[in-house]
Chain A
Amino acid sequence: MGLKRPELEAKITNYLSPIVIVGALGFLGAIATVPQVAALIREQLQANLSATMAAVVAIGLGVGATVFLVTQLPIFLIWLERKVAGHMQDRLGPMRVGWHGVLQSFADGIKLLFKEDIIVKGADRFLFKLAPFLVVMGAFAAFAVLPWGQNLVVSDLNIGLLYVVAITSFGSTGILMAGWASNNKYALYGGMRSAAQLVSYEIPTALVILAVVVQVGSLNLQEVVAAQQGGFGDFTNWFIFRMYGLNAVAFVLFFICGLAETNRNPFDIPEAESELVAGFHTEYSGMRFAMFFLAEYGAMFFVSALTAVLFLGGWVGPFHSGPLSLFVKALLLVFVQMWLRWTLPRLRVDQLMALCWKYLIPISFVVLLAAALVNTASS
């Protein structure tokens, strides 16, 4: 082919960007029709297979759909983050690859795939290789209990919230492991900071979750959503509007703790680039680095989705109930996370601890106590 490189690039971007944009819109549409499709598939499975096989295939399809979502979503979120960051700083952000840079993340992904995979001399090779998988697992396994709609959940666990609190801590183990195995002082600092941060911020997170659990009386996420159904336009019963503003405080607390748990600004001290080079993933390159990146954005989306489930009605949306409602709410909260990232400066380590122990924990205790009292009084 006699195409020169710039021409080839132009051809690729010209043909691919409409495909990607139409694909993204189609994705939104597909999300809206997931309940109907799922019901159809379930019917077919039950008609043609034995009960056990039907359950196995259904779970497999659910897992496949979730894995597809959580691996493809970061590609979009990274692009969104860069655009939001650019425009908040009066820049343009990525503009080169495709229409307004929509293909930028794909290009970056291909670049990361081709990069040399370096394991530093003196690293603990086994732990070094294991750490990215743990981090990704911690971020992605949590999606298993996220309810997307009526009967639309991969695993309808009775102890869903407990599972979430437990499984998200896995990521921090992975980060600490990555920091330790790198045999690098900056990486180790990053890992240690992450552990200290997570141990502190687990407490207010759990307390705020408990305040919701007190009102629902169940740890099942589907029941949390069910408790928020009804009311005008399906949104006046959301927890954020209940309890005389108490839950609004809880919502803010939970959102702050979510930021801290996903190591997002202003709580990104484990990877504080101006202090620690790149923090715990200093020594990682290529695909292993990409996995940390993937995990960060996956966790970001999950925390937003969980906030939406706990306080904003989950899939019970304003005037529309279904997966699309949850998806849009989560995306809005992700946008708020990005917005905060480009607004607030990073906290110092002592300020981070002071914020948690002096402010978040006492307030969340008060919220929990008040929620329990109000709930007892009203029932």
Chain B
Amino acid sequence: MKQYFADLFGAVTSIAQGMWITLSHLFRKNETQQYLSDEKPEERWRSVIVPEGLLQDRSRMRLHVKIEDCIGCKQCEKACPVDCIDITNEKREKTEAPIFAADGTAIKQRVIQFDIDMSLCCYCSLCVYPCPTECIVMTPEYEFAETVKSDFLYRFAKEKPSPPEPPKEEKPEPVAAGGS
């Protein structure tokens, strides 16, 4: 019998608590956002870079890689839960001129392939956090629909530079045998 009234009391208080929570949410600012084409109708049909502050802070859109800063550590590839990042490296020769990322890290690998399949990407942003040079980022670009699936494969690596031509041996001019 005691349990019966305890149950009743619990039901009433918990319902009141729940109703208070939903009522507080009723007057809260909405988390979702209208599709931006409403606010910028002239930019409706093309991919746009959205001005700062128009999107919410936590919005996650298309990935971008600043390939000049990439040191080829593959941490983003390991972090990706859907394996949509594909990286191939090539060791840089010691003899080559040292190059550095924007934050000063020495780049010891040449990234010859950096592919992101945006059709697989789940926009979890997990690849962004481990990047030591902050070269992989979420951009505010939100409209990038394609008609062909292969167009979702974004290749960020530069064209593999052709191997440096072997230094030309300065062949001594063959001395003309038959002198003048």
- Do A343 and B22 have beta carbons less than 8 Å apart? yes
Task: Count chain A residues whose beta carbon lies closer than 8 angstroms to a beta carbon of B.
Answer: 15
Which chain B residues numbered 27 to 72 have a C-beta less than 8 Å away from chain A?
27-32, 34, 38
Q: Which residues of the partner chain A approach B8 to less than 8 Å between Cβ atoms? A: 359
- What A residues does B15 contact at CB under 8 A? 343-344
Is the beta-carbon distance between B26 and A87 smaller than 8 angstroms? yes
| B82 interfacial by beta-carbon distance below 8 Å | no
Q: Please give the distance in Å from A104's CB to the nearest CB on chain B.
A: 15
Question: In the complex, what residue of chain B is closest to A89 when comparing beta carbons?
Answer: B25
Contact across chains for B34 and A339 when beta carbons are under 8 A apart = no
Q: A87-B25, A359-B8 are in contact. Are A92 and B19 (CB under 8 A)?
A: no
Say yes or no: A90-B32 contact (C-beta < 8 A), given A343-B15, A344-B15, A359-B8.
yes
Pick the contact of B26: A88, A340, A344, A359 (CB < 8 A).
A88
With a CB–CB cut-off of 8 A, which chain B residues contact A343? Answer: 15, 18-19, 21-22
The answer to the question of A69 belonging to the interface, with a C-beta cut-off of 8 Å to chain B, is: no
Q: What count of chain B residues pass the 8 Å CB interface test? A: 17
- Among B15, B26, B31, chain A packs the most CB atoms within 10 A around the CB of B26
Q: Tell me the chain A residues, 77-133 only, with Cβ under 8 Å from chain B.
A: 84, 86-92, 95
Please tell me if A357 contacts chain B, counting CB pairs below 8 Å.
Answer: no
A342 close to B (CB within 8 Å)? yes
Kindly state the separation between the CA atoms of A86 and B28 in the bound complex, as whole angstroms: 11
1/0 contact trace for A134-150 toward B, CB 8 Å? 00000000000000000
Q: Could you tell me if B25 and A339 are in contact, using CB atoms closer than 8 angstroms?
A: no
Query: What is the CA–CA distance of A339 and B18 in the complex, to the nearest angstrom?
Result: 10
Known: A89-B25, A91-B31, A343-B22. 4 other contacts (CB 8 A): A88-B25, A90-B30, A340-B19, A342-B22
19 contacts between A and B (CB under 8 A): A84-B26, A87-B25, A88-B22, A88-B25, A88-B26, A90-B25, A90-B29, A90-B31, A90-B32, A91-B32, A92-B32, A95-B34, A339-B19, A339-B23, A339-B26, A340-B19, A342-B22, A343-B21, A344-B15
Which residues from chain A sit less than 8 Å from chain B, CB to CB?
Answer: 84, 86-92, 95, 339-340, 342-344, 359
